[in-house]
């Protein structure tokens, strides 16, 4: 079987083909070498928050830790939630060589072969990472949340923080669900278990509040590569869980506070928007095939009610339905918003004010937002002109799309590698794409997506179909299927 190094070559070449930089330049490496260590607190204007029970929650293997969280119970059923964001700008100056690389790629690219970090790993996994047991500078989002999950007030300031426990999604979720003992880093910190229970309760209230306003509850189970040594052995779904939901809820709220803070300070912002879906008619048709009726005009609350009904009725197939809806909703994008403008909002999250600010080690729009926030906090002019922000928003949207295409290409090559010995076998699948460029179907075991090259007539997104594997091409990531039966 082909080894990891072949997929690495595919990933490297695909990065170049999509206009992304797979390697850091000599200028970046020289600048990196000149950085003596983590940013040192300058003193004035910083709050010492090291004593709070901060913890990080991320993937098991993540070292580029962008955020910490902590909660505090208040009177009247309210909760104070603090989210600390790594102060990346403290070491990555605007228009420096490292910044130029980051602004070219605009995102870390997570392929099935390797990670292409937006920032050099010495920064993203060490000097600007909120790692366990180290003090770091941070931008802090301070929110007061009512018992019903509504953010009633928010503030932004700078501080010094200390990560008391590095926690992982899966083990934390198992503990929250009552299926496992507390992870060792959690059990080792006095009071942290109670704090995580509080964080979980308030996150669930926030989620319930957003759902009441039409936030979509989707579950696409994106596949992740599984290795044994350097050998690729599987592509497995990576399902949502309670700990992932906790972080998502806090980050959505923090991004909303950030957007409103910049607006109140008279600053422009780069918003993350998802417009009303262009293929709503197909979503309506898809619901009709399942015996449900949706309004003729886009309605997020009605769509979410339909989705939750289907989740309860057929939980095993719900990820497939979610994927179909995601494809039909379309992609989010970045857009300049000026003070006083009516926000376009985010259809899928059912929020009006939304930016990206919580992952500056991994996404360039978040680093832009951080610089805007620090300028507003310091009483300085915006570090970017409106024209620059508009151009950066468009560029970040383009490069995010290119990054997703790289990730998808390498994922397809990895899946083709796993399926190369199974030509002739039959699989149950669901149609995930149908347009003038072709028709695509997703299978499981391994999780893979391929093109229907024969018998695709009449198929559309969401249709269930039985297919036979007829061809694979690992370098190009081609997985070709022929339709076996016409069943919808």
- Pair (125, 206) in one structural domain: yes
Band (pLDDT 50/70/90 cuts) for residue 42 is low
Instruction: Quickly state the pLDDT bin for 383 (edges 50, 70, 90).
Output: very high
- Residues 6+ positions from 10 with CB-CB distance below 8 Å: 113, 409, 410, 413, 474, 475, 477
- Whole-number pLDDT of residue 104: 98
Q: Are residues 467 and 367 in the same domain?
A: no
Residue at 442 is within a domain:
yes
Q: Say if 383 falls within a structural domain.
A: no
Shortest CA distance to 397 belongs to which of 301, 300, 330? 330
Residues 94 and 25 in one domain: yes
Which of the residue ranges 99-103, 217-221, 401-405 would you say has the lowest mean pLDDT? 217-221
Number of structural domains, the chain?
Answer: 2
Laid out side by side, the sheet with 79-86 consists of 46-48, 151-162, 135-145, 79-86, 67-73
**Local confidence band at 231 (pLDDT 50, 70, 90 cut-offs):** confident
What would the pLDDT profile of 78-90 be if each residue is shown by its tens digit?
999 999 999 999 9
* pLDDT tens digits for range 134-186: 999 999 999 999 999 999 999 999 999 999 999 999 999 999 999 999 999 99
Please give the structure tokens belonging to residue 449. 């997506």
3-state SS assignment for residue 273: strand
**Confidence check: pLDDT of 301 > 60:** yes
Asked whether residue 360 falls in the same domain as residue 425, the answer is no
488 and 353, same structural domain?
no
At residue 230, the 3 state secondary structure works out as: coil
- Residue 326 domain-assigned (yes or no): no
Max mean pLDDT among 37-46, 124-133, 296-305, 437-446 falls in 124-133
Residue at 204 is within a domain: yes
Q: Are residues 357 and 433 in the same domain?
A: no
* Domain co-membership, 361 together with 431: no
162 domain-assigned: yes
Same domain (yes/no): 353, 480: no
Lowest average pLDDT, out of 202-206, 290-294, 323-327, 438-442, goes to 323-327
Q: Name the pLDDT band for 44 (thresholds 50, 70, 90).
A: low
354 and 483 in a single domain? The answer is no
Q: Domain range for residue 443?
A: 420-488
Residues 374 and 424 in one domain: no
- How much is the pTM? 0.87
């Amino acid at each position: 079987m082909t080894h990891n190094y072949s997929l690495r070559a595919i990933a490297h070449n695909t990065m170049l083909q999509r206009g992304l930089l797979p390697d850091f330049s000599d200028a970046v490496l020289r600048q990196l070498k000149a950085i003596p260590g983590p940013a040192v607190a300058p003193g004035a204007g910083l709050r010492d928050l090291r004593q709070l029970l901060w913890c990080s929650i991320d993937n098991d293997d993540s070292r580029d830790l962008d955020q910490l969280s902590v909660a505090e119970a208040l009177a009247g059923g309210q909760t104070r939630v603090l989210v600390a964001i790594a102060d990346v700008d403290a070491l990555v100056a605007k228009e420096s060589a490292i910044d130029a690389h980051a602004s070219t790629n605009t995102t870390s690219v997570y392929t099935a072969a390797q990670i292409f970090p937006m920032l050099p790993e010495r920064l993203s996994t060490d000097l600007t990472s909120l790692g366990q047991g180290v003090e770091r500078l941070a931008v802090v989002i301070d929110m007061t949340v009512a018992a019903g999950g509504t953010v009633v007030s928010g503030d932004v300031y700078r501080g010094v923080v200390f990560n008391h426990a590095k926690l992982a999604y899966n083990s934390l979720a198992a503990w929250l669900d009552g299926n496992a003992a507390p992870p060792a880093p959690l059990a080792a910190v006095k009071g942290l278990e109670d704090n995580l229970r509080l964080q979980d309760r308030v996150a669930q209230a926030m989620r319930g509040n957003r759902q009441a306003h039409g936030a979509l509850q989707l579950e696409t189970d994106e596949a992740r590569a599984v290795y044994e040594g350097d050998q690729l052995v599987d592509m497995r779904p990576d399902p949502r869980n309670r700990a992932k939901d906790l972080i998502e809820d806090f980050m959505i709220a923090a991004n909303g506070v950030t957007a409103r803070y910049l607006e109140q300070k008279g600053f422009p912002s780069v918003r993350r928007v998802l417009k009303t879906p262009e293929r709503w008619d197909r979503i309506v048709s898809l619901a009709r095939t399942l015996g449900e009726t949706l309004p003729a005009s886009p309605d997020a609350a009605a769509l979410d009610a339909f989705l939750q009904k289907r989740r309860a009725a057929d939980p095993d197939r719900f990820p497939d339905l979610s994927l179909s809806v995601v494809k039909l909703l379309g992609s989010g994008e970045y857009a300049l918003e000026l003070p006083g403008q009516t926000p376009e909002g985010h259809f899928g999250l059912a929020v009006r004010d939304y930016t990206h600010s919580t992952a500056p080690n991994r996404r360039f729009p978040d680093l832009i937002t951080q610089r805007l926030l620090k300028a507003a906090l310091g009483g300085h002019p915006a570090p970017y002109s409106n024209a620059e922000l508009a151009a950066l928003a468009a560029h970040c949207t383009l490069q995010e799309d290119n990054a997703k295409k790289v990730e998808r290409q390498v994922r397809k090559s990895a899946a083709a590698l796993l399926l190369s010995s199974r030509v002739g076998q039959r699989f149950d699948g669901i149609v995930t794409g149908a347009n003038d460029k072709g028709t695509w179907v997703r299978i499981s075991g391994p999780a893979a997506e391929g093109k229907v090259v024969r018998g695709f007539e009449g198929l559309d997104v969401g249709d269930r179909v039985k297919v036979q594997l007829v061809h694979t091409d690992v370098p190009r990531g081609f997985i070709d299927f022929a339709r076996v039966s016409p069943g919808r």
